[in-house]
Amino acid sequence: MSTQTPTDPRFIEKEDDSHLRERMQQAEQTHPLRPGALCPHCGGHAFKRAELKAGTPCPACGKQPRAAA
């Protein structure tokens, strides 16, 4: 049995802070994808540097890598 501590990022002490995970996910979506990053929509394709520069859609799901998931 593990105990959670206030320093554990999964531990939310107050209800007002429950939106923290959502804010972290939204901030992560604004970061540019790096070579080798998985498709944010399906996770079924690792993008190469040339694919990211060209903006080619994911061959697995057909969506653009920059479009919001």
3-state secondary structure 1-25: CCCCCCCCCCCCCCHHHHHHHHHHH
User: Can you tell me whether residue 38 is helix, strand or coil?
Assistant: strand
User: Which element (helix H / strand E) includes 26?
Assistant: helix 20-30
Q: Would the pLDDT of 1 be above 50?
A: no
Instruction: Name the pTM for this structure.
Output: 0.49
Backbone angles phi, psi at 41, to 5 degrees: -90, -50
| Mean of the per-residue pLDDT values of the chain | 76
pLDDT 10s digits, 10-28: 666 666 666 777 777 777 7
Q: Would the pLDDT of 42 be above 60?
A: yes
